[in-house]
Amino acid sequence: MQINWIYSEDVSCKLKTFFKKQGISRRLLAKVRYSDGKILINGKSGRKVDKIKKNDKITLVVPDEEFRRNVPPSFVPIKILYEDDNYLLVDKPAFVASIPSPLHPNDSLVNRVVGYYQIRGYRGIIPHIVTRLDRDTSGIVIFAKHRYAHALLDSQLKEHKISKTYTAILNGILHNNHYIIDLPIGRDSTSLIKRKVLFSEKAKRSKTEIFVKERIRDNTLCKIKLHTGRTHQIRVHCSYLGYPLVSDTLYGGTISMPLQRQALHCSEVVFWDQFSSQYIKVKSNISQDMMNYLK
């Protein structure tokens, strides 16, 4: 693939400084250097130490990526919510793992995206999963199509600049319309997978914002915005508040048919697309099982 920029600053700078500002990692530059890639300044071969000036055209030719053969394709259809040359956003069903594992080696969402790429005849493109969801959580998952796009979104993730909003159904009736939960989360020493609110140096700051949308029978339909991205964050905070997610038995919820998994769906993501210099906003309607439960 080829990435192009026009240098627009009045003050000249070294190419390596420019690349750093653009989010190009040393690792990616090493791949370019040692794997038949190219660095071009105005169409001519350039080096990291070269200086660039205003209106120079910089081109980075990144070699095709080699796909790991140990991830077999799955040809189960996927629901595409958004796609361009750099990103793919997919609507993940519940009960599908985000990534392959010993328990789910052949039909994770990554396997399905591999199959989709093969059907479409994409070459030199491998699925870089940027955001993940628990197996039993449905909704939007972001994939990058190349290393550079992945690095840009990873940087946004670390700085909490990717906005993620979830739709959830909670056991019980919340009395207020708005809650902010700013409590640290860490591992629960009694479990291999559980987390809990933990006031310890080992815990990490975690902030969740809850907006009540509707009170239905003995449940509350909420929009939940994450300000940090800890494992099980929404589930832990809602449980600590005393209103666990419907059917989230791990954190105190009760199974309520037809929902056989926690009532949680990633319904909106917003991120900055550096390639088009605009925000990308993608929405997803809640899954059918959650709709059926609310009827």
* Distance between start and end Cα atoms, the chain: 48
d(CA 250, CA 139): 20
DSSP code of residue 60: E
The amino acid at residue 263 is: A
d(CA 236, CA 126): 33
- CA 230, chain centre distance (Å): 12
Measuring CA to CA, which residue among 149, 156, 153 is closest to residue 65?
149
Concerning whether 136 is annotated as a catalytic residue, the answer is no
The amino acid at residue 217 is: R
Report in angstroms the alpha-carbon separations of 17 from 39, 102, 229: 14, 42, 30
Q: How many residues does the chain have?
A: 295
> Phi/psi at 26 (nearest 5 deg)?
-60, -35
Measuring CA to CA, which residue among 243, 179, 242, 168 is closest to residue 211?
179
d(CA 223, CA 193): 25
Q: Which of 134, 136, 248, 289 is catalytic?
A: 134
Measuring CA to CA, which residue among 205, 274, 196, 290 is closest to residue 241?
196
Return the active site residues: 134
